[in-house]
Amino acid sequence: MTSEKEYIIICDESDRKGPFFSNFYGGVRIGSTYIQPVTQRLQEKKVSLGLQSEVKWAKTDATTVVRYEAMVRAFFDEIAAGRLVMRVMFTQNALVPKGLTAQHYAEGYYILYYQFLKHGFGLRHMPAHEAPPRLRIYLDEIGDTKEQIAKFRGFIAGLSKDSHIRSKGPILDKQDITEVRSHDHILLQCLDVVLGAMPFRLNNKHLQKPAGQRRRGKRTVAKERLYKFILSEIKRVTGKPNFNIGSTTGTSEYLTGRWSDPYLHWLFKPSEFSYDSSKTKP
């Protein structure tokens, strides 16, 4: 029985469409008792590293990579200590879903986001609480129309109607689903860096060379170095030395691990699909 009164899920998204893998979603979940001290520690780490502007994967270069590694280490230290959990979900283009309607395709981004929130954080396996905890969901600015965002918020609020989630008691109100600016949230900045490494490697961006050049650019080399460091940190907190970012990580032997495991990585597969080998890496 836990006394945590509130949980915050902070989400980000990366490449919606890549040559091999698409629809990258990432998120962290943190209890309200940890949000202030964890945020303070990470913010102080950022200041001590001399990182004055927003930390972002896109800003990785030869001048920032060593400091970004230190920032990533501090972030994963919080995960290793059990104060944060992180989740990642993405799709593989070669797995072509069957039976989808035009509406499915039009709203596919939001449908997948909903699946990520519904299953990625193990809400159906939340442990017993002394009182029903409130759930807040912070979404990085999506950039779509107000109408689309409002519809999406209503869609997410429907999580509370899922019988399995409802039985666990979390309280989720529509007003607690909000868009936030990554500039204002250090957790979202750290999440952006880790999530950004996934499509970089899975979509072979680490092999890209400037037009007319025989060698990769310095920024690409720096990003590959940071990706490798992130991979080593994932292996550290999961205890999985053979972790493969292109596949789903196994959970612990108990279903409660879907809630409590420090890091989970999910290749989303449609219930029915055909395999298109032309969409795989050469």
- Domain range list for the chain: 6-279
pLDDT for 233 equals: 98
Superfamily of domain covering 6-279: Ribonuclease H-like superfamily/Ribonuclease H (3.30.420.10)
pLDDT of residue 55: 97
SS3 (DSSP) at 119: helix
The encoded tokens of residue 224 equal 């590959």
pLDDT of res. 281: 86
Residues of the chain short of pLDDT 50, as ranges, are none
Quick: pLDDT tens for 105-159.
Answer: 878 888 899 999 999 999 999 999 999 999 999 998 876 777 888 888 888 888 8
Phi, psi dihedrals of residue 197, rounded to the nearest 5°:
-70, -25
Alpha helices in 49-185 (DSSP H): 65-80, 102-106, 108-119, 146-157, 163-166
pLDDT at 164: 87
17-37 residue pLDDT tens: 999 999 999 999 999 999 999
Residue 46 CA, chain-centre distance (Å), reads: 20
Spatial distance between the Cα atoms of 259 and 233, rounded to a whole number of angstroms: 20
Q: Give pLDDT, residue 214.
A: 87
Q: What angle do CA 243, 245, 58 make, to 5 degrees?
A: 130
Residue type, 6: E
**Quick one: pLDDT at residue 243?**
92
143: left (phi over 0), alpha (psi -120 to 50) or beta: left
Phi, psi of 57, rounded to the nearest 5 degrees: -55, -40
Return the closest-CA partner of residue 117 out of 189, 165, 179, 150: 165
Say what the pLDDT of residue 152 is: 84
Nearest to 85 by CA among 135, 37, 121: 121
pLDDT score, position 12: 94
CA–CA separation, 21 vs 204, rounded Å? 10
CA distance linking residue 191 with residue 182, whole number of Å: 10
* Strands, sheet with 263-268, edge to edge from the N-terminal-most edge strand: 177-180, 134-140, 6-13, 21-31, 85-92, 263-268
- Cα–Cα distance measured from residue 12 to residue 28, given in angstroms and rounded to the nearest whole number: 9
